Structure 1
Amino acid sequence: MKNRIEPALAGLLGIKTRARLKPISHLEMKNEKWISTGNDPSFLVTGRYFPGWNKIKWESESKSVIPLKMYWDQGNGFSESESLTFSSIPKGFVKREVTVYIPPGTQNLRIDPGEDEAEFMFTNVQLKKTTRIKMVLGFAWKIIHQKGLTNQVTLQLLKKGFQTLRTSGLKATWSKFKAYTGHHAIGSTGSYESWIANQALTSIDIKRIKDEIERMAYKPLISIIVPVYNVEEKWLRLCIDSVLNQLYPNWELCIADDASDKPHIKKVLNEYAQKDSRIKVVFRDKNGHISESSNSALDVATGEYIGLLDHDDELTINALYENAKLLNQHPEADIVYSDEDKISEEGVRHSPYFKPDWSPDLLLSQMYTCHFSIYRKSLIDQVGGFRKGYEGSQDYDLVLRVSELTEKIYHIPKILYHWRTIAESTAFQGSSKSYTHISGMKALEDALSRRKVNGWVEGVEGIPNLYRVNYKLEKEPFVSIVIPNKNLADVLDKCLDSIFNKTTYSNYEVLVVDNGSDTLDTFEVYKKWVEAQPNRFRYCEYDIPFNYSKINNFGVKQTRGELILLLNNDVEVITPNWLTEMASQALRPEIGAVGACLYYPDNTIQHAGVVLGIGGVAGHSHKHFRASENGYFSRLKMISNYTAVTAACLMIKKEIYQEVGGLEENLQVAFNDVDFCLKVYKEGYRNIWLPQVQLYHYESKSRGYEDTPEKQRRFKSEMDFMREKWAYILDNDPYYNPNLSRVKEDFSII
């Protein structure tokens, strides 16, 4: 490849080059379509192209998803070590554009369209050199557009970007942008395009699925409910076709047209009803909005289960099969939900939501189960179907009511639903004052009333359809704060000062367990606070070789509180009502450990819940994210369930602490809090993390780092202990998702 124009200049100019695809194996042209005739079809890319970041654009048409893999030859020929699945040819006709990186020194490029025999169109392929700054601005605009960011947040994002660009250069700006958005360049490891291509069903997969369906002992009828109103014809057809294309055949499609006045609606629906007897259509005489329309569809449904599908969205070809498969394994299931993504008008999939297993407190913060969900019809009938007055959040209201009748709720960790992002869709809306947000709040308030919970609901500022449920304390239970300490007088004094001078809660004590301090200033700090807070502060001595678990267990035995708060000596309170917030959660009968949001001194996240499996045992969710960031689908702003939280600030009922035997004393330093939370979880309690309770954590000031051979040996032995005891759940965190990274702490895709 020889170019007279420098790549950087080509990028600034945005030079386009039309790539010519030369078939080199197992490909032939017939009727203007390519036919792959073997298991290794490939094109050689000829013509001019530039190294670095490029946008590759094409038009395609196919009856199945075909992964696209790129190989680059840097002088040693093509090899698997120098290749990457960068995108795919989706079903149907689409125009697609993705970003790829062509390494410097590339002499030849090759594109392989899948490994199966197939017929497809792949034409008008263009390569357009781009630059990092163009990518930053382009992706920033997409994030703003897709996430519905407010003008204030947008201006802050742009201002910080230009500040970083001015002070640190383009490379640092690009890195910070990727960290902020969770973006992975298309074609790079972890990109969603690559994930889609790697997950695409092959012809062998489809045959296997069909054979498995034939052998299923239980084939429940699933009724898909679709309320329709004045949707564009192309979206309606794609929606219905996605049901017709299901591999699982035992379904019925119940469509209720809500008195649409666009003439194509009736024509299209009648056409499909005549095409397939499994399609039932109800034409309503009067527009009643989505709840009443959905109920009209429910009236003609005869299935054992009800699935919900919006009139402009699509199911994946295996959606009903995956649900039927789970129902054969768990026929008792009453609710089943799966993961979802969004799909643009151009057919480009984006914004995948990989969800946790059943998380009741997360549901009280966000309608996270959403698509694709199926419900046992008898339970929907029992609650009276959809309720008028909750339009926009009628499915949120439904799952809140139905989930009160059952605990048999299952999650399929697979993308089974594509939520279309068009102007009319709620997937596109971003206003916190929208009717969907108001309806969601009303549904939650009703849920609290039904459940006889003394509390109230508020929105989370700046984030639509996100809520915070508050629980009112009838009285202040006595809280015992246990703090291990050795020396570090200034650190401890700062911690105690923040507790006593910021805390608005009144009914508490602080017990410092001294672990062999030998400096005079430490005891002067003890004396100072005994005199200043004689009814609240005391200390006791426990001079043993450092063992965090033993020290805390000893301290808890000396306490008088109904609630125990384990607290590190190197924290500083930020939130004045922190004890009120934590106590109101800890008193709930179903709740075990309650964790807080801990920041490093630079206002980045130190702790926002624990994710199991990271690094072999556990890691901290969203570590090093900025305090202003929302996190993965706003997880940093919502009360949510985690399997474990850190003992640097952990509240729990004393009776539960004693019930599980306290902290494991074989774990002297590391993972004792993870082990403790897993014991609590095993006893049937839910652990919870609170974003609104915030403290600074000057991590490792007390113990330092694992930087000596002795400490490293001890750390390894504690890892081995955890792996031996908890291996299954460490590898299958119920509050995480198997499609997300166990290496990074940022919820990135594997």
Structure 2
Amino acid sequence: MSDVLAFHLIPNEQIEPVSERGLGHWEAIGNGGMFECVAEGAFPLAGGWYRFSSRMIARGGELVGPVFYPDYGFGAIEGARVPLPFVPTAEGSCLVRFASDVQSLRFKPSLAISEFELDGIRLQRVGRIGAFADMFNNLFDRTPGKRARLGLVKRALQRLISGGPRSLGDWLYATYSGADQAEAADTYAEWIKFYDREGAAQKRVIERRIDALKHSPLISIVMPVYNTDRIWLRACIESVRAQQYPHWELCIADDASPAPHVKAVLDDYMARDSRIRVAYRPENGHISAASNTALELATGEFIALLDHDDELHPSALLAVAEAVNAHPSWRMMFSDEDKVDTRGRRYEPYFKPDFNYDLFLGQNCISHLGIYSTQLLREIGGFQLGMEGSQDWDLALRCVERLRRDEIGHIPQVLYHWRAIPGSTALSGDQKSYAHDAGYKAVTAHLSRVRPGATVLPVAGLPGNYRVRYPVPSPEPRVSLIVPTRDRLGLLKMCVESILAKTDYRNFEILIVDNGSVEEETLAYFRAVVADPRVRVLPYPHPFNYSAINNFAAAHTDAEIVGLVNNDIEAIAPDWLGEMVSQAVRADVGCVGALLYYPNDTVQHAGVITGFGGVAGHGHHAHPRGSLGYFGRLALVQEYSAVTAACLLVRRAIFEDVGGLDEALQVAFNDVDFCLRVRAAGFRNVWTPFAALYHHESASRGTEDTPEKVARFESEIRFMRERWGDLLDSDPAYSPNLSLNTTPFAFAFPPREATAATPVP
């Protein structure tokens, strides 16, 4: 292999050649545009330092954040991406580092849609000393003033002395590449700048999207109006008229507004645009009645709901039309949303999961933008009088009762801007207490129809959000809590005795699985603890394999519910098991997970996000106890693709039907794999914050710090990537607009599917 590798670039479907400009001119027509890098004899490419060089010139738009996606044997995954430290100039270069041997390589020249010139890329191997010298010289040249440069030298020496060459290299690369400043730059304003901006390239893409539609449904926008401020009413209507998709009608019902300017504004727009229709109600009937009046005007195939002072994104209806074409079974859809203040500043985007029934019972996460089949709304009789303030939540709940999950879709784009003005719930959740009362009433009414016996409770710190408490059957189903252990008596006693002393659910047993304990104190404890009829000890004299141990124990119980519990779990409150059982007995629920805290009262587990870091990671990790999390999600029951087996309940029939834990996964990811198989079998995995315990994580197993453990861990990563592939990176409980490689719930740069309509699995 020569010192310099020249790669030929093969574009994917989201990069097109601009033939009229000649060879090497390209246009990225989507955020997923990238090249496959091909060079004879280049792979496997040894890990280490390389000098990247290329002729990259922006010809339309801007080249932002070019990045490599190396395949280290697990696929070209988000968690392994290698950003270029900066965008090189026309003939510039920069250093990059690959963590290990690369099997194949992809290159994304820009995080944003753009037109550019690129005729190939080159990589030249650089030794460690040379890389360190180049980075230090670059930093030295960029540092102004003698004093600052002296400080740079001191910091470099301190890194070398305290941590050795590796620590110095990590610090140099982070500083050189600006990685230590990246988090501060990851603001919503930056995100909008990259992925939600107007420009020549974007306009051409929009034209192609419209031309590609095979079916162009008429979309009726239903908008009740009452005494709206003139400026916001005009802004709202103008946002509809600015839609890129032309096939719409705006159906307005004025609810007897006393302010004279309202009729003047509406009459003006009716005269200017024949697609705008207005009904003037003779008397005020409140928002449900007014919405029904507007609904009567609708002739479209689909209904979109719009409040009278909010705004639609210019591409909102085009995205809806694309979703209708891509998913003809969808009868109800919703999008992401953000807020907009009186200065037009957009903020607080809610990047939502796909339809998540339990989360939807806790908060109206469908809300804006909500789109419904017109026929469906006719079937349910439109808006319910008496639900004013949460009439849209009640409407969606009644629709959900008639729909299959595959008839409900999520469009993961910000299509709706919620106006934050005084008196609006966008500005503060406690602005309209009557809306909270109506929300409680709507959820309670829904449950009375579909789950009699369930009760609705408020959630502390989250006005307008609710907890649903499900009844536990009588008699209580028996639960067998499986606790694998090997010595570590202090941990085991803490676990067992806290469960026995602090659990108010009665019908359970603890099944301790002894994986070869040898310490006399432990063996004596086993002999003593079985005097409690709630405790059994099963010997398992075989090499450690977490999956095999739990499968063995599950075969030795006839309990209706199996609980997987680590020996470093500590019960906190008495109702934890009753809460988990109440979720596990629901017919469509598979695995149930708990909220686990470290002993320092920060979050260890609050649901597992698949794809994070390559395979899976914990959402809200390290948040302080009492935190509400991302849009309240740390305080609400919801579905996750997976939950940790450190404390997991599942009906034994389901455990057996899916074949238990896969024994090929001895230590890591066996719980994630199990949960994904349970989900594939048609069940929903649920996480509840109302079962809280301490988890002294991995205290009994230690860290993955030996070559053997590292090799085993890497093999388990490879196993998961081979079995589940891209499904890991498409977690329906986690937005494609949120990061898989920085911090959970941080913005994704770039979004994984920013223009895709995501089906509900």
Q: Which TM-score band (shorter chain)? A: 0.7 to 0.9
In the TM superposition, what are the counterparts of 1:130-145 in structure 2 within 5 Å? none
- The separation in 2 between residues aligned to 1:510 and 1:349, in whole angstroms, is 52
Q: Which amino acid aligns with 1:327?
A: V
Contact 1:432 1:464 in 2 (8 A): no
Say whether residues 1:726 and 2:714 are aligned partners: no
Show CA shifts across 1:550-598 (max 9, x none). Answer: 0000000011210000000001001201111111110000000000000
Match of 2:634 among 617, 633, 636: 636
| Structure 1 partner of 2:514 | 514
Which residue does 1:615 correspond to in 2? 613
Pairwise mapping of residues 136-215 of structure 1 onto structure 2 (< 5 A)?
A: 188-199=184-195, 200-215=197-212
Structure 1 pair 707/282, CA: closer, same or farther in 2 (3 Å)? Answer: same
In the other structure, the counterpart of 1:530 is 530
The 5-angstrom pairing of residues 105-116 of structure 1 reads none
Q: 1:494 to 1:446 in 2, by over 3 A?
A: same
Alignment of 1:567-582 (within 5 A): 567-582=565-580
Q: Which residue of 2 aligns with 1:488?
A: 488
Task: Work out the CA distance in 1 between the residues paired with 2:429 and 2:400.
Answer: 27
Structure 1 residue aligned with 2:445: 446
Distance 1:464 1:346 in 2: 27
2:710 alignment partner in structure 1: 712
Distance 1:41 1:78 in 2: 19
Shift of 1:72: 12
Counting only pairs closer than 5 Å after superposition, residues 66-77 of structure 1 correspond to structure 2 as none
Cα deviation 1:423-473 (Å, max 9, x = unaligned):
132212332881111100000000011114321000101211110001011
Which residue of structure 1 aligns with residue 283 of structure 2?
Answer: 286
Task: Summarize the Cα distance change of 1:78–1:369 in structure 2 as closer, same or farther, 3 Å threshold.
Answer: farther
Contact 1:617–1:730 (Cα < 8 Å) also in 2:
yes
1:603 aligns with one of 583, 596, 601: 601
Query: Residue type of the partner of 2:192?
Result: I
Deviations 1:31-85 (A, max 9, x none): xxxxxxx95799xxxxxxxxxxxxxxxxxxxxxxxxxxxx999xx9999989xx9
> Does 1:223 pair with 2:220?
yes
2:249 aligns to what? Answer: 252
Task: Give CA deviations for 1:682-719 in whole Å, capped at 9, x if unaligned.
Answer: 01100000001011000111110001010000000000
Percent sequence identity over matched residues? 48
Going from structure 1 to structure 2, the CA distance change for 1:105 and 1:350 (only over 3 Å counts) comes to farther
Three-state SS of the structure 2 residue aligned to 1:565 is strand
**What's the offset of the Cα at 1:189?**
3.2
The equivalent position to 1:316 in structure 2, one of 295, 313, 316, is: 313
> In structure 2, what is the Cα distance between the partners aligned to 1:728 and 1:77?
35
Asked if 1 retains the 8 angstrom alpha-carbon contact of 2:332 and 2:408, the reply is yes
Change (3 A) 1:86 1:228: farther
Question: Among residues 560, 564, 574, which one is paired with 1:562 in the alignment?
Answer: 560
Q: Could you say which residue in structure 2 is the equivalent of 1:743?
A: 741
The amino acid of 1:496's aligned partner reads: V
Of 584, 587, 595 in structure 1, the residue corresponding to residue 585 of structure 2 is 587
Is residue 367–residue 396 contact of structure 1 (8 Å, CA) maintained in 2? Answer: yes
Query: Alignment partner for residue 392 of structure 1, among 385, 389, 397?
Result: 389
1:596·1:693 contact (CA, 8 Å) conserved in 2?
Answer: yes
> What is the aligned length?
592
Aligned residues of 2:608 and 2:617 also touching (Cα < 8 A) = yes
Give me the whole-angstrom Cα distance separating, in 1, the residues matched to 2:434 and 2:612.
Answer: 39
Q: Give distance in 1, aligned partners of 2:182 and 2:459.
A: 32
TM-aligned CA distance change 1:78 to 1:693, over 3 Å? farther
Measured after TM superposition, the shift of residue 204 of structure 1 is 2.5
Pair 1:345–1:561, CA change in 2 (3 A): same
Gaps of 5+ in 2: 1-57, 63-84, 96-109, 113-138, 145-179, 749-761
Q: Could you tell me the TM-score, scaled by structure 2's length?
A: 0.75
- For 1:232 and 1:338, the matched residues in 2 are separated by 26
Cα distance in 1 between the residues matched to 2:86 and 2:722: 43
Gap change, CA 1:269 and 1:674, over 3 Å in 2: same
Q: How does 1:683-694 map to 2 (within 5 A)?
A: 683-694=681-692
**Matches of 1:245 and 1:334, distance apart in 2:** 25
Distance 1:745 1:304 in 2: 41
- Quote the Cα distance in structure 2 between the aligned partners of 1:263 and 1:722: 64
- Conserved 8 A contact 1:186-1:192: no
* Alignment CA distance shift 1:185-1:397 (3 Å): farther
Mapping for residues 299-448 of structure 1, pairs under 5 Å: 299-407=296-404, 408-431=407-430, 434-448=433-447
| Residues in 2 aligned to 1:565 and 1:342: alpha-carbon distance in whole angstroms | 42
Paired residue secondary structure (1:538):
strand
Q: What is the Cα-based RMSD across aligned positions, in Å?
A: 2.7
**What secondary structure does 1:466 align onto?**
strand
Q: 1:227 to 1:106 in 2, by over 3 A?
A: farther
Is this contact kept in 2: 1:86–1:186, CA < 8 A?
no
> Displacement, 1:488?
0.6
C-alpha distance in 1, partners of 2:325/2:629? 36
How big is each residue's C-alpha offset from its partner over 1:230-250, in whole Å with a ceiling of 9 and x where there is no partner? Answer: 111111111101110111111
CA drift of 1:311 comes to: 0.7
Question: Helix, strand or coil for the counterpart of 2:185?
Answer: coil
Q: Name the structure 1 match of 2:675.
A: 677
Q: Distance in 2 between matches of 1:270 and 1:106?
A: 61
Separation (CA, whole Å) in 1 of partners of 2:182 and 2:416: 21
The alpha-carbon distance between structure 1 residues 679 and 615, as it changes in their structure 2 partners (threshold 3 A), is same
Q: 1:712 to 1:86 in 2, by over 3 A?
A: closer
Q: Which has the higher contact order (CA 8 A, sep 6+)?
A: 2
In structure 1, distance between residues paired with 2:94 and 2:268: 51
Question: Does the residue aligned with 1:208 lie in a helix, a strand or coil?
Answer: helix
CA distance in structure 2 between the partners assigned to 1:359 and 1:452 by the alignment: 17
Structure 2 residue aligned with 1:697: 695
Measured at CA, do residues 233 and 81 of structure 1 come closer, stay the same or move farther in structure 2, by a change above 3 Å?
A: farther
Amino acid aligned to 1:277: S
Instruction: Go from structure 1 to structure 2 and tell me whether the alpha carbon gap of 1:246 and 1:104 turns closer, same or farther (over 3 Å shift).
Output: farther
User: Displacement, 1:188?
Assistant: 3.7
Task: Tell me if the contact between 1:620 and 1:745 (Cα under 8 Å) persists in the aligned partners.
Answer: no
Match for 1:560: what amino acid?
D
Equivalent residue, structure 1, for 2:550? 552
- CA distance in 2 between counterparts of 1:282 and 1:633 reads 36
The question of whether the paired residues in 2 share the 8 Å contact of 1:186 and 1:193 is answered with no
Deviation at 1:523, TM superposition (A): 1.4
Instruction: Look up the SS of the partner of 2:564 in the other structure.
Output: strand
**Aligned partner letter, 2:448:** S
Distance 1:613 1:106 in 2: 37
**Comparing 623-632 with 664-673, which one deviates more in the overlay?**
623-632
Tell me by how many angstroms 1:263 deviates: 1.3
Q: Does structure 2 conserve the Cα–Cα contact (< 8 Å) formed by 1:306 and 1:375?
A: yes
Matched letter for residue 588 of structure 1: R
Q: 1:265 aligns with which of 238, 242, 262?
A: 262
Equivalent in the alignment of 2:501: 501
Q: Quick one: structure 1 residues 253 and 80, their matched pair in 2 at CA, closer, same or farther if it must change by over 3 Å? A: farther
- Partner of residue 132, structure 2: none
Deviation at 1:206, TM superposition (A): 2.1
Secondary structure at the residue paired with 2:674?
Answer: helix
- C-alpha distance in 2 between matches for 1:602 and 1:320: 48
| Maintained 8 Å contact 2:111/2:194 | no
After superposition, give the CA deviation of every residue in 1:138-191 in whole Å (9 maximum; x if it has no partner): xxxxxxxxxxxxxxxxxxxxxxxxxxxxxxxxxxxxxxxxxxxxxx99994321
Shift of 1:746: 3.0
Look up the SS of the partner of 1:325 in the other structure: helix
- Aligned residue identity for 1:463: L
Q: Does 1:242 align with 2:239?
A: yes
Does the 8 A contact of 1:575 with 1:695 survive in 2?
Answer: yes
TM-score normalised by the chain length of structure 1: 0.76
Q: CA deviation at 1:527?
A: 2.1
